[in-house]
Chain A
Amino acid sequence: DAGVTQSPTHLIKTRGQHVTLRCSPISGHKSVSWYQQVLGQGPQFIFQYYEKEERGRGNFPDRFSARQFPNYSSELNVNALLLGDSALYLCASSFNDQGVETQYFGPGTRLLVL
C-alpha cells in the first residue's frame, strides 16, 4: 500500500510570497494533520482535519490555513512568508487502530524562505 505522499519535496520562496503544500493520505485514512519541524526541534502541530472539517489548530498565526478535499487529500497554505517559516512541513494521516488513533507521516516538504 502507498504511504502518505507529499508534494513538492523541496521549495524555495522569498519573503512575502505565498506557498501551497499538498498531501495525499494513506488509502482509507480520513484524517490529515500538518506539523512544522524546524531544524533541530520536534514537530509542532499546525492543523488536523477529519472528514473535511477542522478538528484542531495549533498555535500558529492566521497566515497559515488548510483545507481537506472530498478525497481526503489536503492542502496547507501559508501567506506572507517570513524567514522563520523555513522548515520541514510534515503531513500525517491517521485511522483508528484497535481503538487508538495512530498517525503515519509522509516524507515532508522542505521549505526555504529567502
Chain B
Amino acid sequence: AQTVTQSQPEMSVQEAETVTLSCTYDTSESDYYLFWYKQPPSRQMILVIRQEAYKQQNATENRFSVNFQKAAKSFSLKISDSQLGDAAMYFCAYRSAYSGAGSYQLTFGKGTKLSVIP
C-alpha cells in the first residue's frame, strides 16, 4: 500500500516571502500522479497543482511550483510571493496510474497548516 508523509504539521511564512512544504511518499509503482490540495478554513478542498511521475519537468502554476524527485520519492511544494489568502491546510496526495482495484483513490498525507504573517 502507498503511504504519504508530510513531516511539517505547521509552517509559517511572511507575506511576500517564499515557503516550501515537504512531502514524501512510499510506493513500489513506477507510474503515478501526485497532487497538492489546499483546504482553507472554509474547508473546500482546492486543487493547487499536479505532477505526472513520467514527466521529468516540474509542474508550475503561477506562484506555485513543485520539486519532484522521483528517486528520492519526494514532492515538495514551493509558494512564491506568499499572500494572506494562501493560509490554509495543504495536503499532498498520491494516485496510482494503473487501472484496477484500488487504483482510483487518492491517498493523502496528514497535512501541513500554513500561516501567513502580514
Contacts and interface: CB of A to CB of B under 8 A. Distances in A.
Interface string B78-104: 000000000000010101000001111
Interface of B: 4, 33, 35, 37, 42-47, 50, 52, 91, 93, 95, 101-111
A43 B106 contact: yes
Interface of A: 31, 33, 35, 40-45, 48, 50, 55-56, 58, 88, 90, 92, 100-108
B50 A90 contact: no
Contact of A43 (B44, B46, B95, B108): B108
17 contacts: A33-B104, A42-B4, A42-B111, A43-B45, A45-B106, A45-B107, A48-B105, A50-B104, A55-B104, A56-B105, A58-B105, A100-B33, A101-B95, A102-B47, A102-B50, A103-B106, A108-B44
Contacts of B108: 42-44
A105 B110 contact: no
Contacts of A45: 105-107
Q: Chain A at the B interface: mostly helix, strand, loop or mixed?
A: strand
Given A100-B33, A100-B50, A100-B52, A106 B106 contact: no
Nearest to B92: A42
Contacts of B42: 107
Contacts of A31: 104
A106 B109 CA distance: 19
Nearest to A4: B44
Nearest to B99: A55
